[in-house]
C-alpha cells in the first residue's frame, strides 16, 4: 500500500489535518504523521467571524505523531501533505522538515499545502518560480520566496497543489488526489 506523509505539529488547524488524513485512509493509502517529535499533538480550530479582520482560534483535537522529522526517510513515501494552522510557522525552522519538503518538490512527487502550509515550502526554498495559493495574508510570504501568489482554491503548479484554507478542501484535495492517483494508485 502506498504511503503518504503529513508534516505537521502542535497548533495545526484541526480540519486541515483531519480532512486529508481521513480522505487518504478512505482512498486506501497508508498515512504517517510526522512532527518535530513523536508525541501527542494538540491541534486548534480556526473559524471566520463576520466583521473580524482575521480568524479566531480555539483548542481542537489531539492526535499522535507517528514519527519525528529527523527519522523520516522521504523515499518511503509517494506524496506529501502540509496542513495549515500555526504549526507551519515554527516547523518551517526545522532543517529536517525543510529537507523533507525539498525531497518531494525536487522529485516532482505530489505535494499539497494549505493555508499557512506554504510557509514551510517558502522556508525550504521551493516556491521560487512557482504559483501558489495560501491564506491571503501570506501573499507577501509567497512572493518574498520568489513565488507568484494566486488567490484560489486549488492552484496546481506541476506537482504542487495549494489552497487558501479549509473552505477550499473539496477543490484543493480533489486536485491533489487526481495527481496522487496518477503516480501511485492505492
Residue positions annotated with a catalytic role: 116
Residue 165 CA: distances (Å) to CA of 11, 78, 174, 182: 15, 24, 14, 25
Distance CA 173, CA 19 (A): 9
Cell of residue 32, nine digits: 504517517
Instruction: Look up residue 175 and give its three cell numbers.
Output: 486536485
d(CA 114, CA 135): 8
In whole angstroms, give the CA distance from residue 72 to residue 36. 11
Amino acid at each position: 500500500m502506498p504511503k503518504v506523509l503529513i508534516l505537521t505539529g502542535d497548533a495545526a488547524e484541526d480540519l486541515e489535518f483531519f480532512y486529508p488524513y481521513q480522505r487518504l485512509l478512505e482512498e486506501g493509502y497508508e498515512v504517517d504523521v510526522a512532527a518535530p517529535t513523536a508525541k501527542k499533538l494538540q491541534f486548534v480550530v480556526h473559524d471566520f467571524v463576520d466583521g473580524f479582520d482575521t480568524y479566531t482560534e480555539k483548542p481542537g483535537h489531539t492526535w499522535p505523531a507517528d514519527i519525528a522529522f529527523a527519522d523520516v526517510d522521504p523515499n518511503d513515501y509517494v506524496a506529501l501533505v502540509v496542513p495549515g494552522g500555526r504549526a507551519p510557522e515554527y516547523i518551517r525552522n526545522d532543517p529536517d522538515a525543510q529537507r523533507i519538503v525539498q525531497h518531494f518538490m525536487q522529485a516532482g512527487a505530489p505535494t499539497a499545502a494549505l493555508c499557512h502550509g506554504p510557509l514551510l515550502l517558502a522556508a525550504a526554498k521551493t516556491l521560487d518560480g512557482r504559483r501558489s495559493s495560501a491564506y491571503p495574508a501570506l501573499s507577501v510570504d509567497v512572493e518574498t520566496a520568489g513565488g507568484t501568489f494566486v488567490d484560489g482554491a486549488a492552484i496546481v503548479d506541476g506537482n504542487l497543489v495549494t489552497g487558501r484554507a479549509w473552505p477550499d478542501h473539496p477543490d484543493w484535495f480533489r486536485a491533489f488526489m487526481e495527481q496522487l492517483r496518477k503516480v501511485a494508485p492505492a
